Structure 1
């Protein structure tokens, strides 16, 4: 029988450096345009960030975070990643 192993959460910037380094420039640009505490709370805590076909997909762990990102940060996210569309979903 396989045993489940608990892994501590790794901040998004650290994961992207290994998994998708092409997204780091966008993340750094976004970080420069947000307050440090907001970036850490809403962006660096994302479960996933993917880009393709002019769209950015963000997966957050809280519905409240999704609402806040959508209401406060969409224009700066679009410009930081040079995308037309941003889709944000929550996955608790």
Structure 2
């Protein structure tokens, strides 16, 4: 029988270095405009980030984080990634 293996959560920036290096410039630009603790809590903890067709999709693990990102950081995210639209969903 296969055993499940627990993997610790890897911060978004580290995962993007491997999975989507083209998003690193936007992440670094965003990080420079946010308080370090806020970037770590709300952005570096994202489950996933995808960019395409002028839109950025963020998937967070907490509904509370989704609403905080939406209310406080969308303009910074749009300018950092050069997108017109940001969609944020929570996936617990």
TM superposition score normalised by structure 2: 0.98
* Structure 1 moving runs of 4+ over 2 Å: none
What do residues 5-34 of structure 1 show as CA deviations (whole Å, max 9, x unaligned)? 110000000000000000000000000000
- In the alignment, structure 1 residue 12 sits paired with structure 2 residue 12: yes
Q: Distance in 2 between matches of 1:53 and 1:2?
A: 40
Q: Which residue of 2 aligns with 1:87?
A: 87
The Cα of 1:4 is off from its aligned counterpart by: 1.3
Q: Which residue of 1 aligns with 2:50?
A: 50
What do residues 12-62 of structure 1 show as CA deviations (whole Å, max 9, x unaligned)? 000000000000000000000000000000000000000011100000000
Q: Which residue of 2 aligns with 1:60?
A: 60
TM superposition score normalised by structure 1: 0.98
1:49 is paired with a residue of what secondary structure?
A: strand
Q: Distance in 1 between matches of 2:82 and 2:30?
A: 11
Q: Distance in 1 between matches of 2:85 and 2:60?
A: 17
